[in-house]
Amino acid sequence: MQPLWPNPDSPMRIGTRGSPLALAQAHETRRRLMEMHGFPEDCFEIIVIKTTGDRIQDKPLREVGGKGLFTREIEEALSDGRIDIAVHSMKDMPVDQPGGLILDCYLPREDPRDAFVSRSVETLADLPAGSLVGTSSLRRKSQILYKRPDLKVVEFRGNVQTRLRKLDEGVAHCTFLAMAGLNRLGMEHIANAPIALSDMLPAVAQGAIGIERREDDPSVRELLSPIHDFPTGYRIEAERAFLRRLDGSCQMPIAGLAELRDRSLRLRGEILRPDGSECLAHELTGGIDDATEMGTELARILLDDAGPYFFD
């Protein structure tokens, strides 16, 4: 027997940012719920919520508050009961949720790699010295300068379409985008090529979609449970434990990736000096039941190697 809720008279309200990528992720969530439970589309309502991060376009986010700028208003709407679930890009999510909210549903992870995008050259190695690299990510900036200290990095914010326009206007000679976002938008063709993980480790949880709910809402829990992807869940658990121990934010260059084979996890992580002058990397392997402990231990190892002033 089909549940009484959601229905066209009382739809499930899905909260999301309004960018094309955020909407694509909300639509994917709706599609998976429709297919799993046999609901028609009008049992769901997608509600766009403009966040502080969307409104601030003239400053680096690390200067005005970091990751929570893309989630705060959405989580407030969830806590207040104005929406029933919130769909997030997990790389934008702070490691801790507000009281009463929980993240325990993840969709299958997309390609976590970064993509190199340029109108003038094919690879990062082809860029002449002094070329302008556009990015707003401190991680990418530090990784680029570590490999190519002869390049110059300029602030480069906006959605995919805005960044492509800036390339055409000559603001920078190249930029980096997440392959996951390009794939979800059907725009993978604009990438010159994905960057090998050995050359650029991605942001923690890059490529993963998380669905946040109220902890005391059992009906939503039951609806979300069948669409949760367990392999993605184990990987994100390890990566976010790594980030949490590092006290990670947009003000620290941190990269991390967990990969799953059978019931074995391989967790790689790195931290960099903000100016790209040094990179510390390490990896651990273990079982999926040890995901949280692995993340915490990997962070401890890197912090011990780094010493107290590494991020200054």
Q: Which residue has the tokens 């401190």?
A: 138
The answer to whether residues 116 and 195 touch, using CB atoms and an 8 Å cutoff, is: yes
266-292 per-residue burial string, b: 16 or more CB within 10 A, e: under 16: bbbbbbbbbebeebbeebbebebebbb
Strands 132-134 and 174-178, how do they pair?
parallel
The answer to whether residues 99 and 216 touch, using CB atoms and an 8 Å cutoff, is: no
Residues 6+ positions from 35 with CB-CB distance below 8 Å: none
What would the DSSP string read from start to end of 69-115? GGTHHHHHHHHHTS-SEEEEEGGGS-SSPPTTEEEEEEPPP----EE
Among residues 92, 216, 275, 289, the one annotated as catalytic is 92
For 7, which DSSP code?
Answer: B
In the structure encoding, which two tokens stand for residue 120, read together?
A: 């003038």
Strands 85-89 and 12-16, how do they pair?
parallel
Beta strand ranges found along 112-253 (DSSP E): 114-118, 132-134, 152-154, 174-178, 193-194, 209-214
Residue 89 to residue 181: CA distance in whole angstroms: 10
> Phi-psi region for residue 189, left (φ > 0), alpha (ψ -120 to 50) or beta?
alpha
Is 92 catalytic? The answer is: yes
Beta strand ranges found along 107-242 (DSSP E): 114-118, 132-134, 152-154, 174-178, 193-194, 209-214
Residue 39 to residue 201: CA distance in whole angstroms: 39
Catalytic residue numbers? 92
